[in-house]
Structure 1
Amino acid sequence: MTNTTAVTVQSKRDHGGGLDAAVARFGGTRAAWLDLSTGINPTPYPVGNCPAQDWTALPDQAAHQQLLAAARRFWNVPADAEILPAPGASVLIAMIPTLRAPATVRITAPTYNEHHAAFAAHGWQVSDHSPSQARVLVHPNNPDGRLWTAQDATAPLSVIDESFCDVTPEHSLIHLAAEPGRIVLKSFGKFWGLAGLRLGFAIARPDTIADMQTRLGPWSVSGPALRIGAQALQDMDWAAATRSRLQQDSDRLDALALARGAQLVGGTSLFRLYRVEDAQAWQDRLARHHIWSRIFPYSQTYLRLGLPPADGWERLEAAL
C-alpha cells in the first residue's frame, strides 16, 4: 500500500470502542464485556468525591491556576511556554487547523485519524510527503508506538500529540513547546484511565495559547475536571507505580499473544499492536467470548489489544 492510499483511508475516522454494535451482534450485556479496543488504563486514578460546589458553581480561577501549576510541574513545561486546558484533546485537535491559513499538512500513516479529519475539514491538503507548511507527529504513534525526534518537527506548524507519552516520559518532546509554531498535546484519558472526564492540554508559546484560548472561550473545563486533574497530576507516587504495573501487564499480554501465533509490531504499555494471519477472524473469535478488540480498515493483519483489568486475564487467555 502506498503512503497516499494509507492517508486517504485514515479519513474514515475509525476508532476503538463501538461496543454497543459488538453487543448487538454477539450478544451479552455491555457490562459483561471486556473492551480491549482502546488504549485506556483499565485501572484508573481513584477520583474520590468532589465537593458539591464543583458541580453547582462556575469553575473559579483559583482551581484553574492549581491545575496549571500541577501540569507545569508534572510535564516539566518550559518557562517560556503556556498551558491551555480543554474539555478533551479532541477539541484541541479540531481547533488547531484554524490557527493558520489552509495549506499542506504532512501526516504519516497509519496514525490516529482525527488529525487528518480536522485538517481536511478546514481545507488543508493532507499528504505524506515533504515539504509542507504543517506536520502532525503522534508521539508515541497510535497504533504502532513509533517515536519521533525533534528533527521531525521542523514544519512552520508542528503538532506533537503526546496523548500516550505519559507511560514513557523520558521520550517526551515537551521542550519543543517553547519554540515558535510547536504545539504539544496531552490527554488525561489514557494514562490516568479517565477518558470520561474529558480533559486535555495544549502546550505552546504564549501567543499561540492566547489565540487558542480566544477560540475556546471561558469556563471550558468543568469544576470536577479541574479538581481531579490537579490532584492526579500531583500524585507522583501513583504515576510511578502505574508505569511499572503497565509495563508488567503489557509484557504479560505479549507473552499470551505471541504464544498463540501473533507477531509483535509495536505499541506502548497501554496497547499492543500484533500482526496475525486474519485480523477479522481473531476479532470475531474474541468477540464470541465477549472480548472486544481493534482492527483497522487499512490492514487485514493488524490487531490491537489494550490491557484487561486485573480480573480479566483468565478470560482473555481462555479466549485466545
Structure 2
Amino acid sequence: MLEHGGNLRAARLHYGGDDWIDLSTGINPVGYPAPAPSPDAWQRLPEPSPDLVRAACDYYGAPLLQPVAGTQAAIQALPRLRPPARVTVAAPSYAEHAHHWGRHGHQLRQIPYDALDAAVESSDVLVVCNPNNPTGAVVAPERLLDWHARLAARGGWLVVDEAFGDTARSLSIAAHAGADGLIVLRSVGKFFGLAGLRLGFVGAAPALLQALEDLLGPWAVSGPAQEIAIAALHDGAWQRATQERLARDGARMRALLAGAGIAAGGTPLFHWWPEARAEAFHDHMARRAIWVRLFREAARGIRVGLPAPEAHWRRIEHALQEWTREWTER
C-alpha cells in the first residue's frame, strides 16, 4: 500500500513517546459530535438509506449521489468500470488515483496542473483534485466544465475529487454530476472530522452509479455510519460554526508558518510548501512529538494539518521557532 498520513504507530515506534500532535492529515481535529447509533443500526444489515442520499444531495447540491465506504472505495473501483484508456492524472495530487488507474491496463501519465488544458484532447480520462491534495491548487469551475464538455463529446470522463471541497464550496461542480462523463467525489471524513466512518459519495450519471453499486456489492456503508452522517449533513449550525473556526485556525497556521519564514499554500484544513530540507524538517518536528506529512517525490515538501488544544498550538510555535534558529545559525 501507499504511504499516507495518520500513521502515528510508525512515529511512536521510531521516535518513542506518547503525547503526539498529529498534523499529518488534513482532517478537521474538532470533529462532528457523533450521536449514538440506534440499536437497529448495529443489528440490521445496512440497507442504503434514502434519507442519507437526500441529506447528501441537499448538502452537496448534487442531483444524485451514491454512498460509498469512503472515496477510497470509488477511487479503487472507477478504473475497473472502463476499458483501457488514455488516463491523465494531475500531479502532484492524491497518489491513490494514479496508483489504481495504473493497475488496470490504462495508459497512464501524470502532468502538472498548469498543463492540464493542453492534455484534454489527448486524454480519454482526466483526474483532478479540486482543491488539490497536497498543494491546495484549485481549478475554476468554468474550466472544469469546459474540460468535461470536451471529454464527454467523445465518450471521455472527467473525474473531480472534491474531498477537501467543503471549505471552498464555490469551486464545486457537484450540481452538474448527473451529466454523462462527469464524476465527482465527496468525502465526509475531512470537514466533518469523521474519517473513521469511512463514508463518501459519488456523483455521476445514473448508469455509471448503477455499475459502481453492482461492483461494490450490497451493504457497502455501515448502518452506524449512515445514521451519524444524516445527523451531520443536516446540522447547519454546526457546519457554519465550523466553517468560521477553520477559517480562523487556517489563517493562524499560515501566520505561524510565515513567522518561521515559510510561505505555504493550501486550504483552511492543511498547508503545504516545497521544502528543500524536507527530511530534516520532518525529523526536527518528530523529535518534538509533532507528526507532519513528508513528501519525498513529485510533491517534495511538507504538509501540516491543524491542531486543536491551545497547548498544541504553543508547542508547534515553539518547535517552529527552534527550527528557524537552528537553520539561521547554520
TM-score between both structures, scaled by the size of structure 2? 0.87
Q: Indicate whether 1:55 and 2:42 are aligned.
A: yes
SS of match in other structure, 1:284: helix
Q: Indicate whether 1:146 and 2:133 are aligned.
A: no
In the alignment, residue 285 of structure 1 is paired with which amino acid? H
Which stretch shows the higher mean deviation, 201-210 or 145-154? 145-154
Contact persistence 1:263–1:275 (CA under 8 A): no
Report % sequence identity: 41
Structure 2 residue aligned with 1:135: 126
Structure 1 residue aligned with 2:53: 68
Contact persistence 2:91–2:298 (CA under 8 A): no
Q: 5 Å matches for 1:16-27?
A: 16-27=5-16
Structure 1 residue aligned with 2:270: 271
Structure 2 residue aligned with 1:105: 87
Which stretch shows the higher mean deviation, 141-150 or 293-302? 293-302
Q: Report how far residue 256 of structure 1 moved.
A: 0.8
Contact persistence 1:14–1:296 (CA under 8 A): no
Structure 2 residue aligned with 1:6: none
Contact persistence 1:74–1:233 (CA under 8 A): yes
Q: 5 Å matches for 1:185-204?
A: 185-204=185-204
Contact persistence 1:263–1:276 (CA under 8 A): no
Q: Indicate whether 1:173 and 2:173 are aligned.
A: yes
Cα 1:238–1:309 change in 2 (3 A) is same
SS of match in other structure, 1:108: strand
Q: 5 Å matches for 1:82-121?
A: 82-121=64-103
Cα 1:300–1:102 change in 2 (3 A) is closer
SS of match in other structure, 1:22: helix
**What is the total number of aligned residue pairs between the two structures?**
301
**1:33 equivalent among 3, 9, 20:** 20
In the alignment, residue 23 of structure 1 is paired with which amino acid? R
**Structure 2 residue ranges without an equivalent (≥5):** 112-118, 321-330
In the alignment, residue 310 of structure 1 is paired with which amino acid? P
Q: Report how far residue 301 of structure 1 moved.
A: 5.5
Q: Report how far residue 227 of structure 1 moved.
A: 0.3
Q: Report how far residue 275 of structure 1 moved.
A: 3.4
Structure 2 residue aligned with 1:242: 242
Structure 2 residue aligned with 1:4: none
In the alignment, residue 76 of structure 1 is paired with which amino acid? G
CA distance in structure 2 between the aligned counterparts of 1:200 and 1:14, rounded to whole angstroms? 21
Contact persistence 1:83–1:201 (CA under 8 A): yes
Structure 2 residue aligned with 1:9: none
In the alignment, residue 39 of structure 1 is paired with which amino acid? G
SS of match in other structure, 1:73: helix
Structure 1 residue aligned with 2:257: 257
Cα 1:60–1:98 change in 2 (3 A) is closer
CA distance in structure 2 between the aligned counterparts of 1:118 and 1:300, rounded to whole angstroms? 19
Q: Report how far residue 66 of structure 1 moved.
A: 0.7
- How well do the aligned residues superpose, as a CA RMSD in angstroms? 1.5
SS of match in other structure, 2:102: helix
**Structure 1 residue ranges without an equivalent (≥5):** 1-11
Structure 2 residue aligned with 1:14: 3
Q: Report how far residue 277 of structure 1 moved.
A: 4.2
Contact persistence 2:183–2:203 (CA under 8 A): yes
